[in-house]
């Protein structure tokens, strides 16, 4: 049986020291081992951004896609091979700006994949511009007088889009984050997990201390019922989307791919499909 070490490779992440993304990578590796996967059972698909590098740092199948397109690729992988546990990952810019159309439709489609957003409330790779998650008034190179726009609430969007699994966590809370990723991987449907992941280099407002002061941990709210959609929306709105924990889960809805046969079920798996250069040019 695989252990955490089996999901590590010898590539050293080039994230800045202290970046929250390190812990998210560790949580994914731990969760994969804890749910009993082998590296060849897991596919990690990422978008573009600092966080997009994650698919290269985990010993599993990996695909580093283009900006905002991790979800179409991840859904394609799952539709083709049902035996894989498929995980998509990317930043808040990747998933909630250019990729937002895909995010909403993947949520409502309910394909059995896990989507982790590494949410630092800024564009890190391009050196610090306002993202859809930046708060009103947030000053960056692209908004020197402060952002005029309101921040998006991904939890409200996910719930409104019909998500069957919604969780949120903080990169510093490795225990909670690992457990939520495990639950997301085991959920039979689309699992949306937003993770606060501080950008220590460019975001000097939403720091580790800021998150620690503002997070509301559902593990300290004993009466909370994650199967109650109305309660979930009320709590998200009451806390300004700062909830962490399992926010909502609906196990009654069947996943998209359970209605459609995959390559294997259609007898198409492992076929050696080759086309000539001439045929390719005519496509
Ligand atoms: Fe992390 Fe920010 Fe550095 Fe990117 S720029 S690696 S998000 S700390
Ligand atoms: Mg970002």
In a domain, 232, yes or no: yes
269 pLDDT above the threshold of 80: no
Distance from Cα 281 to the centre of ligand 2, integer Å: 39
In a domain, 3, yes or no: no
267 pLDDT above the threshold of 80: no
In a domain, 1, yes or no: no
Locate 129 and state its tokens. Answer: 């511009």
Distance from Cα 229 to the centre of ligand 2, integer Å: 28
By residue count, the chain amounts to 283
Burial class (CB in 10 A: 0-12, 13-18, 19+), 273: exposed
- The tens digit of pLDDT for each residue in 4-35 reads 999 999 999 999 999 999 999 999 999 999 99
Count of structural domains within the chain:
1
In a domain, 144, yes or no: yes
Q: Give the residue numbers spanning the domain of 91.
A: 19-282
Number of helical H runs and strand E runs in the chain: 9, 8
- The tens digit of pLDDT for each residue in 196-217 reads 999 999 999 999 999 999 999 9
CB 184 within 8 Å of CB 108: no
Q: Which atom of ligand 1 is nearest to the CA of 203?
A: 2
pLDDT tier at 84 (50, 70, 90 boundaries)?
A: very high
In a domain, 6, yes or no: no
Ligand 1 pocket test, candidate residues 49, 202, 204, 208, most atoms within 8 A of CB: 202
Q: Which atom of ligand 1 is nearest to the CA of 51?
A: 7
Distance from Cα 105 to the centre of ligand 1, integer Å: 28
Rounded mean pLDDT, 169-186: 98
266 pLDDT above the threshold of 90: no
Which protein residues have a CB closer than 5 Å to ligand 2 (ion)? Answer: 91-93, 120, 131
Cα–Cα dist 89/230, whole Å: 28
In a domain, 97, yes or no: yes
**Which CATH number belongs to the domain containing residue 127 in this structure?**
3.40.50.970
Distance from Cα 279 to the centre of ligand 2, integer Å: 42
Look over the chain and give the mean of its residue pLDDT values, rounded to a whole number.
95
> Could you give the 3-state DSSP secondary structure of residue 80?
helix
pLDDT at position 278, please? 85
pLDDT at position 281, please? 81
93/269: higher pLDDT: 93
In a domain, 8, yes or no: no
| Nearest CA owner, ligand 1 atom 5 | 124
Element containing residue 158 per DSSP (H, E)? helix 154-160
Rounded mean pLDDT, 235-239: 96
pLDDT at position 218, please? 97
Complex ipTM: 0.97
2 pLDDT above the threshold of 80: yes
CB 111 within 8 Å of CB 124: no
Distance from Cα 196 to the centre of ligand 2, integer Å: 10
Locate 142 and state its tokens. Answer: 């692209």
pLDDT tier at 262 (50, 70, 90 boundaries)?
A: confident
Q: Which atom of ligand 1 is nearest to the CA of 14?
A: 6
């Amino acid at each position: 049986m695989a252990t955490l070490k089996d999901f590590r490779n010898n590539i050293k992440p080039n994230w800045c020291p202290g970046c929250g993304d390190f812990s998210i990578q560790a949580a994914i590796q731990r969760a994969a081992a804890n749910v009993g996967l082998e590296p060849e059972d897991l596919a990690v698909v990422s978008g573009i951004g600092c966080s997009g590098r994650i698919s290269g740092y985990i010993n599993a199948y990996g695909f580093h896609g283009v900006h905002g397109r991790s979800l179409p690729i991840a859904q394609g992988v799952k539709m083709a091979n049902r035996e894989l546990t498929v995980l998509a990952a990317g930043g808040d810019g990747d998933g909630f700006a250019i990729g937002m159309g895909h995010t909403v439709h993947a949520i409502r489609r309910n394909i059995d994949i896990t989507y982790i957003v590494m949410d630092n409330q800024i564009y890190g790779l391009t050196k610090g511009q306002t993202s859809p998650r930046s708060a009103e008034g947030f000053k960056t190179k692209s908004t020197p007088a402060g952002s005029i726009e309101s921040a998006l609430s991904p939890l409200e969007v996910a719930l409104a889009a019909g998500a069957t699994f919604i969780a949120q966590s903080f990169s510093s809370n490795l225990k909670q984050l690992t457990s939520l990723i495990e639950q997301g991987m085991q959920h039979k449907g689309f699992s949306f997990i937003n993770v606060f992941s501080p950008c220590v280099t460019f975001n000097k407002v939403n720091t580790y201390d800021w998150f620690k002061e503002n997070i509301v941990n559902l593990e300290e709210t004993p009466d909370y019922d994650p199967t109650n959609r109305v309660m979930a929306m009320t709590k998200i709105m009451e806390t300004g989307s700062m909830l962490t924990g399992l926010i909502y889960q609906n196990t009654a809805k069947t996943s998209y791919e359970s209605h459609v046969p995959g390559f294997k079920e259609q007898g198409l798996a492992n076929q050696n499909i080759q086309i000539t250069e001439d045929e390719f040019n005519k496509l």
